[in-house]
Amino acid sequence: MYRGNLGVQIGDKHTLKDWGLGWTKITLGFPEAKIYEQDVPGMDGVLDFTESLTGGDVKYKTRSLSLEFETPEQDYYDWSIRVSEIANYLTGRKCKIILDNDPGFYYIGRLNVEVEKTNRVEGTITLSGNVEPYKFEKFSSLEPWEWDSFNFKTGIIRNYKNIIVNGTYSLRIPGRRKRIVPVISCDESVQVSYEGTTYTLSPGKNKVFGICIKEGENILTFSGNATVSVDYRGGML
């Protein structure tokens, strides 16, 4: 019987390290876009308001995730104990899910357990459910990096913590597909300019909805004298 050598981190548990389960098959669906259309009598086709209603930021439904595991040889007694342990831990709970083959990102969702065992040797466990449409970078711009999980093709090194602003400072942020409003912290009042508009930040945490990090290069220009941190975590499909 083939057993996979890659597992999944689900919350604080790892399927391979904690339960001896490496996945043999993974099915990850891509999310369906939320389309807003209006049928107009006498007009060919339909009016599509999808981009106009969302400011060009298309919204998505959840996506499906299914993981299949072949279990180690166990008698029915040990099997039932292991299945109960897994079900008690994750069924219906919202969890952070990290796939071993994509360790730089995590999904958020709820998984359910399905089991099948036909004899002492053969048995399968399937974890399936829905996750949010975007996967998110494992580490935010304020968290320390782990080079073991860094992907040199898709990873972005972010260090936007404790930036010293003494006059003017420009911060370049490579944005992912999901638009995100970052949290900007400062120890003194400071101004920040983004896309031609200037905002005044108060000491403490600030969330300015006019500052939305988009896909591509984003430049925040700070003016004043302060220590600034920008909390951003990229998301992509």
Each residue's pLDDT tens digit in the chain (237 positions)? Answer: 456 789 999 999 999 999 888 899 999 999 998 888 787 887 777 887 777 777 778 899 999 999 999 877 666 667 788 888 999 999 889 999 999 999 999 999 999 999 876 666 677 889 999 999 999 999 999 998 877 777 778 889 899 999 999 999 999 999 999 999 999 999 999 999 999 999 999 999 999 999 999 999 999 999 999 999 999 999 999
The reply to whether CATH 2.40.30.200 applies to domain 8-133 is yes
Q: Which residue is associated with the tokens 């010293």? A: 164
Can you give the pLDDT at residue 181?
97
* Contact (Cβ atoms closer than 8 angstroms) between residue 120 and residue 73: yes
- Work out the burial of residue 51: count CB atoms within 10 Å of its CB; fewer than 13 is exposed, 13-18 middle, 19 or more buried: exposed
Can you give the pLDDT at residue 75?
66
Can you give the pLDDT at residue 62?
96
In the chain, CATH 2.40.30.200 sits at 8-133
For the domain bounded by 159-236, which CATH number is listed? 2.60.120
Can you give the pLDDT at residue 1?
47
Rounded to the nearest 5 percent, the helix, strand and coil shares of the chain are: 10, 45, 45
Q: What is the pTM of this model?
A: 0.87
* Contact (Cβ atoms closer than 8 angstroms) between residue 172 and residue 196: no
Query: How many angstroms separate the Cα of 93 from the Cα of each of 30, 96, 116, 127, 232?
Result: 22, 10, 22, 12, 25
Q: What angle do CA 214, 100, 11 make, to 5 degrees?
A: 80
In the chain, CATH 2.60.120 sits at 159-236
